[in-house]
Structures are given as C-alpha cells and as structure tokens.
Chains A and B, each alone.
Chain A
C-alpha cells in the first residue's frame, strides 16, 4: 500500500471512528462508513491539509469511496500544492 493510501486510511479511521478493516477501497463514506454530509466535507478538508492539495468542489463531489480518494490524491501528488 502506498504511503498516501496509508495516510488516507488513518485519517478516515480517526475522523469517522471506524475499524481499519472496514476501510476497503470499495467502501463508500456515506453508505458503508456512516459519514454524513458534514463528515464528508471534513474528510476532503483533512485530505487537502495533509497532502497540501486543493480539491475543487466538482472533483470533491466525485470522491465517494476510499479508493476514489486515494486515486485522486495519488494522481495529483506533487502537483500544484496549496
């Protein structure tokens, strides 16, 4: 597992209070991990802070699962920080 994936997982475990084993790539934040709309906003913000990336709203709307978050962050890693 990449370093990014590991960090994403630990943020989700911390913020949503779920077990690490539940945080699979397919897991949906809202359907599987019990997040509400504010939790989801918080997760995106934590990702932005942790990886020093800016995730535009239209991109954020497409990040619904753990795997989608990891993919986005890995793809944009090292690019245009802030």
Chain B
C-alpha cells in the first residue's frame, strides 16, 4: 500500500521563554534564558533553588475556573498550547470529520503537584481518607489528551505516551503512523509537563540530575560547556497539528513542514545513565533515517537532547559522529534546552517546534552559555555556541531520550 504523507499545519507553544509560538521563537533566536528563582514553592532548603518556570499565565483566560480546578497544571498547559495550535491550523471544526482526528499527547509524569497536595493534605489529618473525587482525574497523565478531545470533539484515537523525556516524540511517531496508514486524517500531538514542584525538584536533586548553580540560574543550563553540572527543570507545553498532506491541501491549510521519519530504540542498559557509547541514540537516529529513506548527509541541523548533564551530552555527540561521520562537522547542532530548560515529557514538543521554526526562518537557534567546550567533545562540531546561525536548512532532526533508556527521534523537511 502507498503510505500517505504527513505534514505539520499548526503550532502552539507555552514555554518558559514565551507563551506563544512567535514569542518563543523570537526568544530562541535571540538566545534568551528562561531560568530564574523558583516561585512555586519555598525552595530554600533544596539543593536547587531555580528552574525555568512559565511566566504570567492566567489559566482562567482560557479555561473556566470551575473546569480548571478539576485539572492539574499540566492539563491547563496542554489546553492552552493546543488552543493556539488549533487556531493556527485554521481548522473549521464543522467542516472536518472529527471522528478521524486523534489526540496523542506526551507527559513524563502527569499531575505531580495534584498528587503531592492531596497526600500532604491527607497526612495532616487523622487518617480518615477524605480524598477529593477529582484527585485521580487531575493526576493521571491521560487526562491531558482526554480534555483536549472534549474541548474540540475530536473522537479519533486518544491516549498519552509515557517514556519520560522521550514522551512527545513517541506521541509524534505514533500519530505519524496512524495518519500514514490512513487511520486518521489529523492528529493533535504534543506534550506538557508541570513538575516544578517539591517532589519534582527534590526527586531530580536526589538523582543528582539537576544543576545546582544557584548563584547564576541563567547560566546554569550550558550543554557541552565544561562547567555544566546538570539540567535545569522547565515546564510548559508544545502542541502540533499533524495532517495528511492531501487533507491539508484540500482545505488550503498553511503547511510548515513535512514529517518524513521517526526512529525509536531502547538502550537496554540502565535506568538513568545513557549507554556509554550512545548505542541507543545511534540506533534510534539510524532508524529515523531509514524510515525517512534519506542519507545521513541530508541532515542539516540536529536539535539535540543535550540536557547539560556531564554524562549525557558527550554520549549523544559520540553517537552522532558514529552515524554521520565527517558530515557531523558540516551540519549544525544545538541544544535549545540551554534556553528553555528541560521540559521532560514536553521537551520533544517544544523542540519539534523549534526545529520547524528553524526550517521556516532558515536560522539555527543557539546553544547559549556554551563558552568553553568540554575537552571530551570533538572541537570540530558546530554546536552553534552563544548566537543563532543563519544557513540554508532543508532537513532537520530532533532528538529525545528518556530515563529508562527510551530513545525517539523525528525528522522534518521543508515541503517539496
């Protein structure tokens, strides 16, 4: 059978450096950091006291207060970003077959704050379980995709993918396959995370995964720099409308890019550490190139996973060199986590959007704070340090790897 082609026709972003796609992109291009002191709880006793929080989001502008209080923040973020994406895609809800529109969402954790608050409240009592009836629905990760479907009446395939920081890329690849196979005409994909909480910061601190550069939050996310000391936790959401090319053209939709390949693998190695030679990353990138049917030399830019951890960053680059050889030094590489922080399950979503906007503007967003490249890293890589670089871009890759050894890669291309 002939597979259908899949394109991106709508984007929505709610990020630590912009509450909509255009602000997000402008700040990416300008190299703005979203980091600052934690405001969501008293972090004074935590090893890490900063994060990339969202700024100035008034949830009730988007969701009636009575509905909003039955949802966790990660679901609020999902709805807000998806509102922008649906508007951007200019979808006439009455004109399309909404039974063939799915929602496949990614979240690494789900409603962490809701879980914490309810259990803290319970622990303060005398043991009588007065658990709020909305507790479970606020907390479970799939409430995000469920709420999106209810808001728009999208009755196609609906679920949430959970593969830690690879979650959204898995969601994108699943939707890609359903549309290619003709099972869906459109699908809302994306991811959201709201883990800047006591359990989130405390838990990742206990893993020794977070930067503890409390004196300089904006300089803390510094992928590939020799002074990097861990990732900076971010929060927010990204939402994309994937659509069958014919369907998009028939309704005259604006097409940002074509999704041409998805690759997946598992490290089968360790619960938190990546494979020392980057084997899983290599296999997933290779799988994505094979799926797209393109040569390694066709990739112009990789938006890396690059979290700014001492162990993870060099291994991803090793895998890139192993797969791309000397072309590794011709392409651009950057980690936009240097600006957004690490949005965990939503990382793939906001980075897919960064990659697509890079294609649109023919501009590679930078890796900020990259002042001195780690000696362990080959100096021939163009890691797009400090400032954005203009260059012709046709095909871009976006990488995501998650605790548990999950690897998921997507490739976008300018529509030809």
Contact = CB atoms under 8 A, between A and B. Distances in A.
Given A16-B66, A17-B65, A48 B126 contact: no
Nearest to B66: A17
B155 to A, nearest CB: 21
B130 interface: yes
A82 B129 CA distance: 11
B133 A38 contact: yes
Nearest to A34: B66
B133 A45 contact: yes
A38 B71 CA distance: 13
Contacts of A49: 130
Nearest to B121: A49
B134 A42 contact: yes
Contacts of A41: 133
Chain A binding site: helix, strand, loop or mixed by DSSP? helix
B207 interface: no
A34 to B, nearest CB: 9
Given A82-B126, A82-B128, A42 B66 contact: no
Contacts of A82: 126, 128
A71 B111 CA distance: 37
Interface string B123-164: 000101010111001000000000000000000000000000
Nearest to B64: A17
Interface in A17-71: 17, 38, 41-42, 45, 48-49, 54
Contacts of A42: 132-134
A49 B118 CA distance: 14
B70 to A, nearest CB: 8
Contacts of A48: 130
A38 B65 CA distance: 16
Give the interface size class of chain B: 10 to 19
B322 to A, nearest CB: 53
Interface in B51-102: 64-66
A70 to B, nearest CB: 20
Contacts of B133: 38, 41-42, 45
A18 B132 CA distance: 20
Contacts of B132: 42, 45
Most B CB atoms within 10 A — which of A16, A42, A54? A42
B135 to A, nearest CB: 10
Nearest to B68: A17
Nearest to A48: B130
Nearest to A39: B133
Nearest to A40: B133
Interface string B32-67: 000000000000000000000000000000001110
A45 B66 contact: no
Nearest to B135: A42
Contacts of A54: 128
A45 B65 contact: no
B129 to A, nearest CB: 10
A60 B134 CA distance: 18
A45 B64 CA distance: 23
Contacts of B128: 54, 82
A79 to B, nearest CB: 16
A48 B132 CA distance: 12
Most B CB atoms within 10 A — which of A16, A48, A49, A54? A49
A45 to B, nearest CB: 5
B334 to A, nearest CB: 45
Interface of A: 16-17, 38, 41-42, 45, 48-49, 54, 82
Given A17-B66, A41-B133, A82-B128, 4 more contacts: A16-B66, A38-B133, A42-B132, A42-B134
6 contacts: A38-B133, A38-B134, A42-B132, A45-B132, A49-B130, A82-B128
The list of the 3 closest CB pairs from A to B, nearest first, reads: A17-B66, A41-B133, A38-B133
